[in-house]
Amino acid sequence: MEYQVQILIVMVVYLVLLVGWGIYQGRKVKDHSDYAIAGRNLPGWVAALSERATGESSWALLGLPGFAYAAGVSSIWTAVGCVLGIVTAWWAIAWRLRNEAEQFQVHTFTEYIGKRHPEMEYWIRRVGSAMIVFFFFFYVGAQFLGGGKTLFTMFGLNQQLGMLITAAVIIPYTVYGGFQSVVYTDVVQAIVMITALIIGPLVGIVVLANYPDAFAHSITAALSQAGDKYTTLTGGVSGFAAGVTIMGGLSWFFGYLGGQPQLSMRFMAIRDPEQAKKGRNIGIAWTVIAYLGALTIGWLGIGFFGPQGLSDPEFVMPKVMLTIFPPVIAAILITGAIAAMISTADSLLILSATELSENWFIKNKENSATENLKRSRMITATLAVVALLLAYVSPSNLIYTLVGYVWAGIGGTFSVVILYTLFWKRFHGMAALITIITGMVFTIVWISTGLDQVITARVMTFVVSAIVGGLAAILIPAASRKNH
């Protein structure tokens, strides 16, 4: 009980400071460009840490350690797939998106695609943004749900009250400061996250070697004693099942190739090419260290508690931290894990709001910067309330089912569109629109029919979208490049 009180105190202080920091950054917002994309003036290190916090959030601190705890060595494939995707994105895509965002003076993800294909700009922006906003509604709702469940698990708070508290933390600074506030609060999250993922494994290995009640006193011994499932790269299976295991892990690669709008917006907001290089180096280093740390924490959990010692694998990180650190230090690191989901929720919220504002609401060019900024804040606040209401009234399984479509449907589809747009001159607007529609429809059909259990939609959506988009570009004549 004592550690719960200490964690609660630390969390309250942390979140109050975080909200204050976000509101302080929001004071720098002077116009719609600042609100939507931080004036395309982010230092590379800020963009990198924000992109990493948004991309990983609770996945790096709860999800991946939990998977490593449950699956053992075979969890490496998921880590490899993610790391390769992130490295490729920073190395080959980030600076190109930054340069083109500056060239075309864009404020949103779909605005960029539309301006690159002006002959179909109207429909690309309408269809693309509608798809993103719809699914990200539920994605934000899932973060509220996750916050409620976590506060219930940690402190016994009513889940509905926990959802309200989560929303109360996120909404004020996101509505007030938009993208500017979101990226700078993400920086704080990224620093806390990487601290936990460095210190936790290093201290954990030392403590495990001398821990009297441990299942095993080293990671290698723990994996060996846990059984073949935990020591093989295929999870103890062979043949086709082994291939499915490996491909399922590596398939995370495809979603990182420019197709996650909330990540690509960080690339587009970087100040200049030199800052893009700095961001690349920091983003890649953070990723490699974080994934090694997350896997190690999961495997340490097997050493401390045994393979069946936890009822919920995703709480292996908090359990390990409470085992190896005094309560106050553990509280700080666990708070980072709980607060990490905020990095996802606020990013998705501001992305959805700017997509809706730019592509669906008619802007009056005669309006002052203040009036346009006020409109953006009103839309953001409205979306936040709608997402919270969805989380309250929709069955949680429906929300998480729809979230399951996001990585494949949004990530796989838009990765193809971005890659073709950047690297293939023959790719045109009609092909881009067909690719967007095909990818989303295919993902829904593939997952809803259960075929995702045979071959993951993260692979199939990317492959099908690439084939359809390529054929459309070749077989359909490009329209004249003028705005409609």
Query: d(Cα 141, Cα 349) in Å, to the nearest integer?
Result: 10
Exposure class string for 37-69: b at 16+ Cβ within 10 A, else e: bbbbbbebbbbbbbbbbbbbbbbbbbbbbbbbb
Nearest to 108, CA basis, from 345, 353, 411: 353
| Cβ–Cβ under 8 Å, residues 262 and 37 | no
Say which residues have a Cβ less than 8 Å from residue 440's Cβ, sequence separation at least 6.
131, 409, 410, 413
Query: d(Cα 94, Cα 264) in Å, to the nearest integer?
Result: 7
Helix, strand or coil for residue 152? Answer: helix
Question: Which pLDDT score, from 0 to 100, does residue 431 have?
Answer: 97
Domains of the chain in start order, with CATH, are 2-395 (1.20.1730.10)
Exposure class string for 129-147: b at 16+ Cβ within 10 A, else e: bebbbebbbbbbbbbbbbb
Query: d(Cα 279, Cα 289) in Å, to the nearest integer?
Result: 15
Statement: the pTM of the whole predicted model exceeds 0.85:
yes
| Cβ–Cβ under 8 Å, residues 268 and 97 | yes
Nearest to 272, CA basis, from 47, 44, 51: 44
> Which tokens sit at 151?
């506060």
What is the full per-residue pLDDT of the chain (484 aa) written as tens digits? 577 787 788 888 888 998 999 999 999 998 888 999 999 999 999 999 999 999 887 788 888 999 999 999 999 999 999 999 999 999 999 999 999 999 999 999 999 999 999 999 999 999 999 999 888 888 888 888 877 877 776 777 888 898 898 889 889 999 999 999 999 999 998 998 999 999 999 999 999 999 999 999 999 999 999 988 899 888 777 777 788 878 888 888 988 999 999 999 999 999 999 999 999 999 999 999 999 999 999 999 999 999 999 988 888 998 999 899 988 888 888 877 777 777 788 899 999 989 988 888 756 555 666 787 888 899 999 999 988 888 888 877 777 677 778 888 999 999 999 999 999 999 999 999 999 999 999 999 999 999 988 888 989 999 999 999 999 999 998 876 554 4
